[in-house]
């Protein structure tokens, strides 16, 4: 049955179309999320009054605004670059989690957008989970080396 699927030109065309749509969807997701995080960073770097007031309310000082903006800028650029996209999405997810906690507990403002962004970032990581394979293999080798060294 699998052989029929591979040999059937119509089935092959459907697979290629699905693959193309996945590729296009992933690129769209990367660009939208990457640009969004770059814009978030620029808003913080520019010293917009709303940003300054929010970070004052958090109570960690304005250095934290610049720190957050730097992380967002790095994440935004990394998300767009295919080789670093999954790691940029993970960094952005960490920043987004911090924003969610701050908005829910300290700022008491709308937090639903952080949940939507987190869902899109998790989708981006999921679609690129193969990029994490090298990390798993390196961690596995490191654990094996440590176990052998402890003998």
Would you say 90 and 78 are in contact if contact means Cβ atoms under 8 Å apart?
no
Lowest mean pLDDT among 31-40, 51-60, 128-137: 128-137
Would you say 129 and 100 are in contact if contact means Cβ atoms under 8 Å apart?
no
The first and second tokens of residue 36, run together, are: 């969004």
Non-local (6+) Cβ contacts of 95 within 8 A are 37, 68, 71, 72, 75
Helices (H), 1-151: 2-7, 9-45, 49-58, 62-80, 85-102, 112-127, 133-149
Tell me the C-alpha distance between 92 and 127, whole Å: 16
Angle between helices 9-45 and 49-58 (to 10 degrees): 80
Give 76-134 pLDDT, tens digit per residue: 999 999 999 999 999 999 999 999 999 999 888 888 999 999 999 999 999 998 888 77
Would you say 47 and 82 are in contact if contact means Cβ atoms under 8 Å apart?
no
Give 56-78 pLDDT, tens digit per residue: 888 888 999 999 999 999 999 99
Count Cβ atoms within 10 A of the Cβ of residue 118 and give its class: 0-12 exposed, 13-18 middle, 19 or more buried. middle
Question: pTM for the whole thing?
Answer: 0.76
Token pair 């060294």 is found at 149
pLDDT tier for residue 33 given thresholds of 50, 70 and 90: very high
Non-local (6+) Cβ contacts of 28 within 8 A are none
The structural domains of the chain, with segments of one domain joined by +, span 37-138
The predicted structure's pLDDT at residue 151: 59
């Amino acid at each position: 049955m699998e052989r029929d699927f591979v040999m059937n030109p119509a089935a092959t065309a459907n697979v290629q179309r699905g693959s193309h749509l996945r590729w296009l969807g992933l690129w769209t997701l990367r660009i939208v999320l990457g640009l969004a995080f770059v814009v978030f960073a620029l808003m913080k770097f520019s010293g917009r009054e709303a940003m300054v007031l929010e970070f004052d309310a958090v109570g960690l000082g304005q250095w934290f605004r610049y720190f957050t903006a730097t992380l967002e800028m790095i994440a935004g650029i990394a998300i767009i670059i295919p080789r670093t996209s999954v790691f940029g999405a993970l960094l952005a997810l960490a920043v987004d989690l911090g924003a969610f906690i701050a908005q829910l507990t300290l700022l008491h403002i709308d937090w639903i957008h952080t949940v939507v962004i987190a869902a899109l970032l998790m989708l981006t990581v999921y679609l690129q989970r193969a990029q994490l394979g090298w990390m798993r293999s390196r961690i596995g080798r490191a654990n094996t080396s440590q176990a052998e060294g402890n003998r």
